[in-house]
Structure 1
């Protein structure tokens, strides 16, 4: 699999997805952008959070505001727009069937995850993920994995220091 091509495809799908959701929910101010995969790296899904939804979640449960900021599964538009990633996920499943050993599997996952992070970095660098909310977050995560140190690295790459420090402190407190 050509992972540079995969990164380009993920970036394009992300841009189309987030644009469609921003248009569909044009009355919302957005405060979170995410891509996530699974522990086998066979799917990619998006999530987008609105400031209104975040504020409502925090009002109901203020002690968990950091959790709501960094957990795409709790976001307003979690998995909405997944159709933009359907073909990519099919390619990942097909590619995974060619894996013959554990070393290839580990490399495959690392390359898929890196392609996702680079896609988000690229979209952020061109201003596509920026908005009026200064505390907006960008997240890449693996939905059914427990590797907090890897998540910390991704969050540090994708967010300004004060936000990544918040995530790091929170994840280490769990």
Structure 2
């Protein structure tokens, strides 16, 4: 994936950033695995915002989803769309922002790079999304067996561009059955 990216796109060393994202994602999964205590992981994503100043790691388990679903069903009409939202929206997950300390140095660099990329922000943003996808592809390769049934994707919080980025990344990162299950929520 990185072969299509310039090393210094938008003035940022994307090879270095991608390497740091790879290491942080693997570290976060390893740390998460040590606290899951038999819970069944089904989704992991890397998330940024429209300002592209940081990346966060998010994950959810079947058990956390079931708990959230049950608590929301007490106060909300649980339509299929709302259930899908709870299942796939990182803001509703049990492990949103997990391992933030592993991303702290990267996020300091990204904050500075984002602010400095005003003239080339679209290029900067594209490179960041590609680096995030690459980091998750690396994670899948490094933890193949543990993540076999786990859906991986990239998202942008509270953004109109999120759906397109999610679709692109989920198809690149997952076997077709996992990608199809994820994309069913879009109709």
User: What residue is the counterpart of 1:89 in the other structure?
Assistant: 107
TM-score, normalised relative to structure 1: 0.86
What are structure 1's unaligned runs of at least 5 residues?
Answer: none
Shift in Å, 1:62: 6.6
User: What residue is the counterpart of 1:170 in the other structure?
Assistant: 185
Residues 38, 145 of structure 1: 8 Å contact kept: yes
Shift in Å, 1:18: 1.8
User: What residue is the counterpart of 2:8 in the other structure?
Assistant: none
The alpha-carbon distance between structure 1 residues 163 and 25, as it changes in their structure 2 partners (threshold 3 A), is closer
Match of 2:173 among 150, 158, 163: 158
1-structure distance, mates of 2:69, 2:176: 22
Residues 123, 129 of structure 1: 8 Å contact kept: no
2-structure distance, mates of 1:116, 1:108: 12
Shift in Å, 1:143: 0.5
Structure 1 position 67 matched with structure 2 position 85: yes
Q: Once the two structures are superposed, what CA deviation does each residue of 1:62-102 show, in whole Å capped at 9, x if it has no partner?
A: 7233323321111111112111111111001111232241x
1-structure distance, mates of 2:152, 2:121: 26
Alignment of 1:21-60 (within 5 A): 21-59=32-70, 60=73
Q: Once the two structures are superposed, what CA deviation does each residue of 1:114-139 show, in whole Å capped at 9, x if it has no partner?
A: 1011110111123357347x3x2112
Residues 35, 140 of structure 1: 8 Å contact kept: yes
Structure 1 position 110 matched with structure 2 position 131: no
Q: Once the two structures are superposed, what CA deviation does each residue of 1:150-169 show, in whole Å capped at 9, x if it has no partner?
A: 32111111222123223333
The count of corresponding residues between Structure 1 and Structure 2 is 168
1-structure distance, mates of 2:18, 2:137: 11
User: What residue is the counterpart of 2:6 in the other structure?
Assistant: none
What are structure 2's unaligned runs of at least 5 residues?
Answer: 1-11
Structure 1 position 137 matched with structure 2 position 151: yes
